């Protein structure tokens, strides 16, 4: 088996060399992992495993920090740090306020 992420040696086109800043939400995603790690709730290895488990289609569609959030969300549910119900209600609240994309 070869993980979709494990693409060393496969053709992948040229590397985009443009400089770009992280969006504010991306910095918060990074900080979230640091916090979770400091509290012993999630390890970098678990983050990676979660990203690798997203599936080829989702992996391809999501940006770097979107993949982080995908992985963190899954881990938080599995570990009982948030419930699906809590998450769904909060997401609906944010979506109503911000007009989000599902």
Partner 1 sequence: MSPRFAAGARVAVRSAFPPGHVRTPYYIRGSTGVVERVCGSFPIPEELAYGRHGLPARALYRVRFPLREVWPDYAGAAADTIDIEIYEHWLEPA
Which residues would be at the binding site for partner 1 (CB under 8 A)? 1-3, 6, 8-9, 43, 45-46, 48-49, 52, 79
Nearer to partner 1, 46 or 67 (CB): 46
Shortest Cβ 10–partner 1 spacing (Å): 8
Nearer to partner 1, 7 or 23 (CB): 7
Shortest Cβ 88–partner 1 spacing (Å): 24
Shortest Cβ 41–partner 1 spacing (Å): 10
For the chain, what is the HEC assignment?
CCCCCCCCCCCCCCCCCCCCCCCHHHHHHHHHHHHHHHCCCCCHHHHHHHHHCCCHHHHHHCCHHHHHHHHHHHHHHHCCCCCHHHHHHHHHHHHHHHCCCC
Nearer to partner 1, 2 or 102 (CB): 2
Query: What are the structure tokens assigned to 86, written together?
Result: 């809590």
């Amino acid at each position: 088996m070869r993980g979709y992420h494990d693409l060393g040696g496969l053709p992948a086109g040229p590397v985009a060399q443009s400089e770009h800043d992280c969006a504010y939400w991306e910095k918060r995603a990074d900080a979230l992992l640091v916090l979770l790690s400091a509290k012993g709730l999630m390890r970098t290895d678990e983050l990676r495993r979660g990203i690798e488990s997203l599936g080829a289609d989702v992996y391809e569609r999501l940006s770097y920090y979107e993949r982080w959030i995908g992985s963190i969300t899954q881990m938080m549910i599995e570990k009982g740090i948030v419930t699906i119900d809590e998450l769904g209600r909060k997401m609906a609240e944010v979506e109503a306020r911000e007009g989000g994309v599902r």
